[in-house]
A and B are shown apart, each in its own frame.
Chain A
Amino acid sequence: MARLTPHNEQRARDLIALYPHPRSALIPILHLLQEQDGYLTDDGMQHAGELVGLEAAEVQGTASFYDMFHTEPVGKYLIAVCTNIACLLQGAYELLEHAEERLGIAPGGTTPDGLFTLEDAECLALCGNAPCVTVNWRYFGDVDREGFDDLVARLAAGDLDGEVPPHGTLCRVRRSVGLAAAGASVHGYGGPVPAPAESSRPGAIADEPTDGVDLETFATTPAVLALDGPASPDDGAAPFDDRTEP
């Protein structure tokens, strides 16, 4: 699969409709491509360019600037070990060395089974829980050797499938409304009027249900909340259960 599926193409058109100029939707659409394929393919970028009115080279020009976009296949799980100053002071390079040994790959490499890619990352903004690691940008703080081994084992066993979606999936909560207020003064300024989209009707529900998205799961920034102690565990209420209902 390389070009966007018809379903994802509609999602891309919904994204374009949110912006005054189609080109602004490029980065969100590239995230969508990466969600679909796990990385950015040439055909996919070509398709993105067709949707927003850019040449493939312009799309690649943008994509190649950003660290989160991969133009080569990566593992199902992209493990990023932060080694910047706050984590360095807490032994992040020791953790990275351990990760290299555990996975048998250097930063930038992917395990032969295609499961893990390792990255030596810049500050991930969880400095109160240094050293920290993200897996597909889901955060794990205060990681030591044992914690890392445990994390890898649980990922490999599929125990964290609910919390850590495959690489590329960023935001699992879909926008539930189109632009309800934007007037002519916004749309149509500075570029062609974007393609009409289903979700541009006020109140329209844009997309498929997003069952299984547990916004509770990674309330794991406990030490970030140091002033009040760890956040209380959830009481079982699931306030977002009905959020995708019309």
Chain B
Amino acid sequence: MTVTGVPRIVTRRLGRLAPWTLASYLEDGGYDGLRKALSMTPEEVHEAANVANILGRGGAGFEAGRKWGMLAKSEPVYLTINGDESEPATFKDHMLIEADPHMVVEGALICAYAVRADQIFLYVRGEFALGLERLQAAVNEAYAYGAAGGDILGSGWSVDIVIHPGAGAYICGEETALLESLEGKRGYPRIKPPFFPAAVGLYGAPTIVNNVETVSNLPWVMRNGADAFAALGEGRSKGTKVMALSGHVKRPGNYELEFAKVTFRDLMFDARLGGGIREDRQLKAFIPGGVSSPWLGPQHLDVLLANDKIAEVGTMAGSGAVTAMDETTCIVRAAWRIVRFFHRESCGQCTPCREGSGWVEKILQRIENGQGREADLDLLMDVCDNISPGVRWPPAQTTICVLGPSIPPAPASGIRMFRDEFLTHIREGRCPFPPDRLPGRVAHV
């Protein structure tokens, strides 16, 4: 068992009484990280982030410090915090925003100081009504406390924070779509190379887009030092990572764990974490990094939770959302529901994604309904191949953004790992699994 006893960084204040208040935050050294940062030059803060090597926690896993270094040298500079968490089975930012909004605000301020941002936008998923309220209250308190606005904490440095609600669109979590949305437009992703937001972002100005969890690490890094952060984890994966565990485990929830030291087996089966599969059933398969990632099976349980280790087995750590599926799970149904999501959320700009997602969804639906044909398996893979040539990982793409290549992993994983199950649906003309049941009413196979 390798669940390490390291300090928790972004979830350390959870469980406190009303941790979202300024009073509670100040008791835990709130805004000391910002004070420390303001005593340094922006370059020194940037260097600290480089030493800490904070990988982006939104899904792509790009080093935050490197991203900041790509900023074009022109004014103004904008900082946008991505709180549009919508990847299915990911619920860490939702928790952080609701439980510790001041930490998010302080992290954003430190980041803004390092990149010399002229204004901060906290883009929060519209559905997070309570999160928006807590965050707005925190921003109001931060202004009153002097940690935001003019002459922050007496340093002479000024920056404003605006909370911007989204309105229900998964694609707005993609950073260029988020910027379009922030400009009051439809959330259509922009063609990225060569114009990454750091060069051409909000209103054409250089813009940094960082995830909520990414910047939430900064106050701790400032207070405890980048070396302390870099001492945690292994290789490129430094610090801790919040793993969002869901599905058929006994104790679903968010668990902050040391990066690269804990395995999927620990996460799902340790009594302090997932606690094992419900009713002590067998694990059938699991989704390692959000529904955009190819699935893994029980043979991969000993893979370490680190971006590079997970990449080695042909999938990705993504947003850190792990979903366990037990032996009663119908793989066709699970794949269908995931593809249905992408079909509903495709922005519609690119044909392979807009049309392909719908076709894959319909084919999976008819297999699940017992009306499939054996040729459907090849047809599915053929459509997937047209969305993401080769259906390989890391994926090739025929679309503007990565939503397209996120469509094939679920059906392709299902067919590769459980081809017989698809064939059983087709040959028997029905789904051999019982319906999914509400907890307490688990059906027996």
Contacts and interface: CB of A to CB of B under 8 A. Distances in A.
Partners in one complex: yes
Interface of A: 18-21, 23-28, 30-31, 52, 54, 61-62, 65-69, 83-86, 88-95, 122-131, 134, 136-139, 142, 144-145, 170-177, 179-183, 185-186, 189-191, 202, 213, 215-216, 218-219, 221, 223-229, 231-232, 234-235, 237, 239-240, 243
Given A31-B165, A65-B169, A85-B287, A125 B125 contact: yes
Interface string B307-349: 0000000000000010101000100011001100100110100
A152 to B, nearest CB: 16
Contacts of B85: 125
Interface string B204-217: 11000000000000
B186 A61 contact: yes
Contacts of B90: 123, 125, 127
Interface string B116-156: 00110000011111101110110111011000011000000
Interface in B1-34: 11, 14-18, 20-23
Nearest to B439: A90
Contact of A227 (B20, B141, B184, B254): B254
Interface string B408-439: 00000000000000000000000000011111
B21 A31 contact: no
Contacts of A91: 435-439, 441
A231 to B, nearest CB: 6
A223 B251 CA distance: 8
Interface of A, secondary structure class, is loop
Contacts of B248: 89
B186 A213 contact: no
A27 B89 contact: no
Contacts of A234: 17-18
B252 A226 contact: yes
B438 A145 contact: yes
A225 B252 contact: no
B258 interface: no
B14 A171 contact: no
Nearest to A137: B129
A66 B99 CA distance: 26
A69 B130 contact: no
Contact of A122 (B75, B98, B344, B439): B344
B164 A131 contact: no
Interface string B278-309: 00000000010001000000000000000000
A89 B325 contact: yes
B14 A228 contact: yes
Given A95-B438, A226-B253, A243-B140, A171 B165 contact: yes
